[in-house]
Structure 1
């Protein structure tokens, strides 16, 4: 089977689906990856979950920073590939990888050197919870360079129409994590009991393995990676283009995480158990948003290549085809969280006094899953056209409203649930606004005439020759 899918020719839904299915499967694997950690950590106790939840916020923050080279690289690579210029695509990919390496090293060093004040931000109360959180932060974020590289490489492979390689690499990482988690957390066989530290080590080893597999796939690629000279510094203009497209998404994601950290601090006022509920609940909820994010990546690459190829008539077809699938998925997740919250939450934490809080979280957040899926997919569509500013502005403004809304609602009879409602309400408005905004953009582009019918993602003469 051909690994690189031709996104600028043939049936729209078929091409999009062929690209999207492995990405969605990859996202589900990534969700399982996170849930596996939470399943085993939950067996240690809610205090351990609270530790991972607090430290994990900085891993989430790192994803925002990693979004700059990933998004900027993916969109630029998609545009020039659609225009039939694979060597330019390789140069953009090289620049994106350089940024990823630098960002990963700097972020990791900061987390190691300043672990005490970073964890102190959350005002955790238990001494063991604080100690475990610092350990988890130093290990996972200290080695975050693997996560940065994996995200950028995923974006590059996806832009080239090859989502299967990302799927295989991530699947392997999941299997390694599933094996190492119980061994290192509970000390099976010759290994000592490591608890939270064991979960962190398992995560890092799995991520490092994924990076290694990506490089193996890259060596076999004959479209982009065969042109890459990783130790050669690309032209400055390439960095500028990546930053221009990736910066709004980066700022959006980091501000989003920063706001979530402030929300987490409000949650901590209700005790470490509430922090654990938020951590577990958000991981369960990620079944919805990570899958939508995966489909958004497919829409991004589809629109980017067709935009670069001048095939404008395929852009609305691709977006609406994707939206039909996402609406079905979002509705399924909504029904799951609203009608089956208790059995789902009980998989992770079984403590009877915490279960009611978890049920409330899932039911309230379940209301917004459909709208959140629409928001994420539409943001990917905007990015595919190089328009990363509209989703960033929408996200920053409405996510920022969560803080005053949460502070208002916690003083009502809702209490802690007021925080969860502030998240749901903002997600609903973000989905509605972005969908209307993108439809408006498509309406203004409806008179664009296709300028290319040649249709090749890359030319045969531009392929690398086999050695």
Structure 2
């Protein structure tokens, strides 16, 4: 018994005692690898769909806004739970950590019920609002794909909940295991269900959706099993459970800005689709391909963020200023290296990247200059992403929300609309680097304020 307690204390103290460089590597590398695989299977998914037809690729691309909203709710709730859990563990308040887990589980269940209802009710009007009755084939394929993803999203929410529990307590290796399992399942099932291999029915884009939800269910089961067996810091129990409005409020105080921040991406994507469809469905397909490709370079950065969020939150609770600053500096250096690779790829080999999607000549003509223009924003985005993570970890997620709303709704979409009217399709893509420059200025302002009002006032602690 005493040995078990000692082990728990040692694990619980890792985020406050392990050298920062080693800790970031230990916490973030598994998340970065798993997020990279997530991005890979997103790309593979579209590569297989593109082999059906360009219309199939467009149909899946038009689903992004609601898919992004679905992920935003799961990930945003996890950010709130993660920050509160890690802070509670840093303060040695284990009861609050347990209560946080139980209340968060209920929030995930309610989130699934919401998207189950939306899956039956809003998908068709959603597609009609983007393309009308202009292309019935695109609309029918899109409705089949998106309805399946939303109605069976319980696997995704299960995966988010248990992976975030594991991440909050520093067990990112198991979070990586669950994501890898789900991703590999999806990659294997994609060609089988899309093209009807090995006796399976040929299901087209619906097969891609089914492969996705099966992969999510597998990942959720693995994450739940790992949490039950290895995560002894947080005890998930509903015996005598009563919703704690204060805990729920704290989770959403951090989580809702994160949800809104990512949901703004849904609105931005929807608006961009509306702007681009005026030129051609191919332009919309290019935008969809860009989103898939950029995720391959950004997802590892998000994995890095998932790893450093509990480190920053824990050391904030433990009042260790030097460790917090060291964590932020190192994570920014790593994020820059990752996004710089994306910049080089978009500038040097756009034709190779687009060629993976069975690209037509028209898609290449639009896509090659588009990727080279959009790729400029990789040189800036790394700072804004890590700064947003710092805001969330320190309970100031509203700053992240403000930056995201400003960047995507007040700059990117209006700039794209104006440039489309003034300079045509080629000019639209410049809205991305323009928005990123504005985002950099605002993020830097908020980060300086956070340093002066919160970080600077903490005791130095040990590095």
TM-score range, shorter chain: over 0.9
Alignment of 1:2-401 (within 5 A): 6-123=14-131, 125-229=134-238, 232-400=241-409, 401=411
State how far apart, in whole Å, the 2-side matches of 1:252 and 1:325 are.
23
**Range that drifts further, 207-216 or 304-313:** 304-313
Alignment of 1:386-465 (within 5 A): 386-400=395-409, 401-413=411-423, 415-445=424-454, 447-450=456-459
CA contact (8 A) 2:301 2:335 kept: yes
Gaps of 5+ in 2: 1-6
What does the per-residue CA deviation read over 1:226-272, in whole Å, with 9 as the maximum and x for residues that have no partner?
A: 34338833422211111112111112221231122111111111222
Q: Write 1 or 2 for the structure with the bigger share of helix.
A: 2
User: Compared with structure 1, are the counterparts of its residues 439 and 316 closer, same or farther at alpha carbon in structure 2 (3 Å cutoff)?
Assistant: farther
What does the per-residue CA deviation read over 1:118-143, in whole Å, with 9 as the maximum and x for residues that have no partner?
A: 11121153211110000011100111
**Range that drifts further, 327-336 or 205-214:** 327-336
Gaps of 5+ in 1: 456-467
What does the per-residue CA deviation read over 1:211-231, in whole Å, with 9 as the maximum and x for residues that have no partner?
A: 111111111134344343388
What does the per-residue CA deviation read over 1:383-442, in whole Å, with 9 as the maximum and x for residues that have no partner?
A: 1111101111111122112222111101233x1233321123112321343134213422
State how far apart, in whole Å, the 2-side matches of 1:418 and 1:430 are.
20
Aligned residues: 453
TM superposition shift of 1:16? 1.3
State how far apart, in whole Å, the 2-side matches of 1:187 and 1:417 are.
39
TM superposition shift of 1:154? 2.5
What does the per-residue CA deviation read over 1:90-128, in whole Å, with 9 as the maximum and x for residues that have no partner?
A: 211121121111112211221222221011121153211
State how far apart, in whole Å, the 2-side matches of 1:6 and 1:353 are.
54
State how far apart, in whole Å, the 1-side matches of 2:328 and 2:12 are.
20
State how far apart, in whole Å, the 2-side matches of 1:252 and 1:76 are.
19
CA contact (8 A) 2:406 2:439 kept: no
Match of 1:465 in 2: none
User: Compared with structure 1, are the counterparts of its residues 84 and 451 closer, same or farther at alpha carbon in structure 2 (3 Å cutoff)?
Assistant: farther
Q: Aligned to 1:7, what secondary structure does the other structure show?
A: helix
RMSD: 2.1
Q: Aligned to 1:412, what secondary structure does the other structure show?
A: helix
User: Compared with structure 1, are the counterparts of its residues 264 and 189 closer, same or farther at alpha carbon in structure 2 (3 Å cutoff)?
Assistant: same
State how far apart, in whole Å, the 2-side matches of 1:435 and 1:27 are.
26
State how far apart, in whole Å, the 2-side matches of 1:230 and 1:284 are.
45
TM superposition shift of 1:55? 1.9
User: Compared with structure 1, are the counterparts of its residues 140 and 130 closer, same or farther at alpha carbon in structure 2 (3 Å cutoff)?
Assistant: same
User: Compared with structure 1, are the counterparts of its residues 448 and 355 closer, same or farther at alpha carbon in structure 2 (3 Å cutoff)?
Assistant: same
TM-score by length of 1: 0.92
CA contact (8 A) 1:3 1:164 kept: no
**Range that drifts further, 339-348 or 112-121:** 112-121
Q: Aligned to 2:110, what secondary structure does the other structure show?
A: helix
Q: Aligned to 1:233, what secondary structure does the other structure show?
A: coil
TM-score by length of 2: 0.93
State how far apart, in whole Å, the 1-side matches of 2:228 and 2:458 are.
38
State how far apart, in whole Å, the 2-side matches of 1:397 and 1:390 are.
11
CA contact (8 A) 1:263 1:419 kept: no
State how far apart, in whole Å, the 2-side matches of 1:207 and 1:387 are.
30
